[in-house]
Structure 1
Amino acid sequence: MNNKVNRSIYFWNFAGNIAAAAVSILYLIIVSRYTSASDADNFSLAYAIGNLWVVIGIFQVRNYQATDLKETYSYLEYWLTRVITVCLMLVSLFPYLFFSGNNVGKGDLFLIIILTVIYRSCDAFSDLFQGLFQQHERLDIAGKLMVLRYSLSTIILLISLLLSNSLIFSLICLCFFNVLFVFGGDYIQSKQIRTIPFNQISSATFKQSISIMKTCLPLFVNGFLLVYVLNYPKQVIDKLLVEGVLREGAQRDFSILFMPVFFMSLFVLALRPLITDLAKQWSEKRFYTFNAMIRKILLLLMILGLVVSILAYLIGVPILNIISGIDLSNYSLLLTILVLSGFLYSIASVIGDFLIILRKQVYLLYVYVAMALLTNILTPIVMREFGLFGAGLSFVIVMLFYTIASWIVFVIMRRKEIQKYESVE
């Protein structure tokens, strides 16, 4: 692949991931500016639930699919797997809404959550096609489609909200457009690389799809627990709002301050082309090059984390004030802590990708279970004592644990695999 093509892939992959990371931020800003504090709180909570439920939809198959260079499973089998997981995503939402102890099963919030999850199911289907593009080193196509879809989605949400002044109607418009785009855009483009032979679906195809789900089950559990940890502070905020401990708008304020944490993920997503390259180095037993690339990636993330955390403390809040139209002047330290947490999360996520390459991701399950227990115990206690600042304090502690524990697991597994290869040689 020549340098010109490489540059195109990296550029569009990076642009697409910026769009993906920015879109939730833009949605929140639009909703915060043009609706009430109550609607903004509802949308913030609904999007947090959507972030959790989309993990069921994608079932963390993407990285496994993208690194399946020998095509152990066919594209048809990956497609059928995604149909099954998206159905599970949608069906499993309703028991949660009806039996949850919070207010999620009542009134406008109920509809807002359902529409948000339907919208996120479109992201889950799009992720399947993006995995195909990545597997065949055409992330430039994925990036272009992401930029177009997320840009148009933002415009549609803004215009529909301005015209109707109804968040529910605006979300219906957003869902309708994304369904059309994913199946009229992503799917059509994917046919340039691989068509789906629907007439070949058989019981064997279903068995292979179940096999994919079994293989990726540890990844799914890990991903679900991770997103649960990321969104747990918002669930505690919702509970404290109901109890009157926090004021109306607290969910909105924290979501705006929390935006950089998800924005940090673009640094990880921008490295996706390198993950495929790392997989090649590992499969070809080029351990020195593999380790050198890992050192460079982690060093880059640490330098970026330090620089951006300092900038967040100095100018972060004034920028968010201008963007959101909300006074966040008392939250400079909280924002800095959350940005630092975001980079710890990014580093730990990259380490998780390293373990996927080694096919040792199952060992991260212990880390995620411990992390979920830690956040369940720590977050409510600290938040009752320190309010929103307590949410940031508990979050940075949990992310530090996540990073250190993931690195320890990776170092142990890498050493064992290299020793196993050398003993055979």
Structure 2
Amino acid sequence: MLRGKLAARRSAEPSRPASARSRRARQPFLARIVNQWWTRLLNAIYQGSLSDQEEEYESHSATRDYVWNTIGTTVWGMSLPILSIVASQLAGAEQAGMFSMAFATGMLLMYAANYGVRNFQVSDIDETHAFSSYQIQRWSSTAMALVLGILYCTIRDYQPYMATICFGVYLFKLVDGAADVYEGRLQQADKLYLAGISQTIRSVAVFLVFTVLLFVMRDIAVASVGMGIAAVASLVLVTIPLALLETEKSRHWRFEEVIDLFRQCFPLFAALFLFNLIETMPKLVMEGALPYDNQLYFNALYFPSQSIQIIIGFIYKPQLVRLSNIWANPRKRRRFDLIILAVMAVIVAVTAGVGVFMATIGIPLTGFLYGVDFEQFRFLCYLMVVAGGVIAAIDFLYAIVTVLRRQGEVMRLYLVAFAAVTLSSLVLVNLIGLAGAVVSYLASMTLLLALLVWEYIRIRQAIRRERNPFLS
């Protein structure tokens, strides 16, 4: 009898896990993913370390890298135009212009936080600097960027409403800057697709929170603060744990390495920050000379330009590690040059394609999305498309110069372009308004591209002479 009872009990016990499995199977896919991630995260925290856990996701997945990097970069790159569209439709052109202005300066703070380290980090294939040193450097530069943002709002003497908008937007963009070092670590470990997933989750979370709060409250300031909080949550719950769980544990950070990163990447930071300051200067001049709705118009015209940069970015950025390896082999230098020419040809083709799109359905579509007649800005839109191709070429050449470790040699070029855009913006914006901002923007970027091409040719000639002194 006892044996019969024990057998009956054992036969009844497996039914519970089976029932649990069936309940899990009935869960929506997204809910299962969230539950699995939350369980993994809590277990790692309970065990006292994220870095000591076993990795679960594969590396060396080129298809996933391209797909998720494309998705992440596209969603991130479209955050400004999409959020501007939402702001314009729900709060009007004036408030949307204020949001766009805060976003423009927030982007500058993000690049200050990045400090130009990402390309340097992912091309550090021998890991001469510990990841922990990269983290200390990034959090230090992010803190400096935060102080810079507070000083800017103080100098501009923003009223509480505009200052609150800036606070929310700056928090979002500073999180972008901090998250970049963790997503760079994933790329360095050949898991770029995980970096794309992280970027996508952050961008989607920010969009949803901003849109819902703005729809309910009709207050840009409240929506901006909510957006910043959503970004912080995604960083703490997804980006940092993902990087620590899915990459090798870093050796301990060293003060000398942190200082060396600040030193070596200063030319990268200065050039990148100056480049984005060049991009932003027309908007900064417009803020003092034109109503805020012009900020919205400028950003709407800028979107086709930005789409070119996004497309080119997800073509070449996943290949930076491979380009570094090609450059490291002197016998493959000719192949390296051919890749550069091929990407430049792709930039021309993409620019032409975007131009055709805008000339046909793009401009009417822009007007529909923003609720503004953009036919009056058709010629300015064409100029912006050309500027987009120019900027994509600049961005690519900047990355190549970083791979060559000659980043210190381009600083003076950015200073020349910065002086040109500042002078032209001050003159043209005050003379012809929005059109002056677009013209000065295109002219300064064209000048910078010409200077970068000349500098790249000079660097390559210098490298050839170093390898073969008889050429000199």
TM-score, normalisation: structure 1 = 0.92
Cα 1:4–1:184 shift into 2, 3 Å: closer
Cα 1:153–1:96 shift into 2, 3 Å: closer
The offset of 1:182, in angstroms, is 1.0
Matched-pair contact (CA < 8 Å) for 1:367–1:406: yes
Report runs of 4+ in structure 1 exceeding 4 Å deviation: 195-198
* Corresponding letter in the other structure for 1:272: K
* Corresponding letter in the other structure for 1:263: S
Q: Does 1:239 align with 2:308?
A: no
Matched-pair contact (CA < 8 Å) for 1:234–1:251: yes
Q: Take 2:61 and 2:150, find their aligned partners in 1: how far apart are those partners? A: 45
Among candidates 303, 306, 315, match of residue 259 of structure 1: 303
Q: Does 1:185 align with 2:238?
A: yes
Q: Does 1:332 align with 2:378?
A: yes
- 5 Å matches for 1:247-286? 247=291, 249-270=293-314, 271-285=316-330, 286=332
Q: Does 1:226 align with 2:271?
A: no
Q: Does 1:382 align with 2:428?
A: yes
Match of 2:96 in 1: 40
- Give the 3-state SS of the residue equivalent to 2:238 in structure 1: helix
Match of 1:244 in 2: none
Matched-pair contact (CA < 8 Å) for 1:42–1:109: yes
Q: Which moved more, 1:58-67 or 1:16-25?
A: 16-25
The offset of 1:423, in angstroms, is 4.3
Coordinate RMSD, CA, aligned: 2.0
Matched-pair contact (CA < 8 Å) for 1:268–1:349: no
Matched-pair contact (CA < 8 Å) for 1:51–1:120: yes
Among candidates 152, 162, 165, match of residue 96 of structure 1: 152
Cα 1:113–1:4 shift into 2, 3 Å: closer
Among candidates 466, 469, 472, match of residue 420 of structure 1: 466
Matched-pair contact (CA < 8 Å) for 2:68–2:197: yes
* Corresponding letter in the other structure for 1:108: Y
Matched-pair contact (CA < 8 Å) for 1:310–1:336: no
Matched-pair contact (CA < 8 Å) for 1:316–1:335: no
Match of 2:183 in 1: 130
Matched-pair contact (CA < 8 Å) for 2:64–2:193: yes
Matched-pair contact (CA < 8 Å) for 1:80–1:206: no
Matched-pair contact (CA < 8 Å) for 1:16–1:144: yes
Q: Which moved more, 1:164-173 or 1:117-126?
A: 164-173
User: Which structure has the bigger radius of gyration?
Assistant: 2
Match of 2:138 in 1: 82
Match of 1:156 in 2: 209
Q: Which runs of 5 or more structure 2 residues have no equivalent in the other structure?
A: 1-57
Q: Which runs of 5 or more structure 1 residues have no equivalent in the other structure?
A: 242-246
Matched-pair contact (CA < 8 Å) for 1:86–1:124: yes
Q: How many residues align?
A: 412
- Give the 3-state SS of the residue equivalent to 2:245 in structure 1: coil
Matched-pair contact (CA < 8 Å) for 2:323–2:336: yes
Provide, for residues 32-86 of structure 1, a one-character-per-residue CA deviation record: whole Å limited to 9, x for no partner: 1111333112111100110111111110100000100111100000000011001
Q: Take 1:97 and 1:166, find their aligned partners in 2: how far apart are those partners? A: 20
Matched-pair contact (CA < 8 Å) for 1:73–1:208: yes
Among candidates 344, 350, 355, match of residue 396 of structure 2: 350
The offset of 1:323, in angstroms, is 1.6
The offset of 1:145, in angstroms, is 1.8
TM-score, normalisation: structure 2 = 0.83
The offset of 1:258, in angstroms, is 1.6
The offset of 1:134, in angstroms, is 1.4
- Give the 3-state SS of the residue equivalent to 1:194 in structure 2: coil
Cα 1:3–1:297 shift into 2, 3 Å: farther
The offset of 1:109, in angstroms, is 0.9
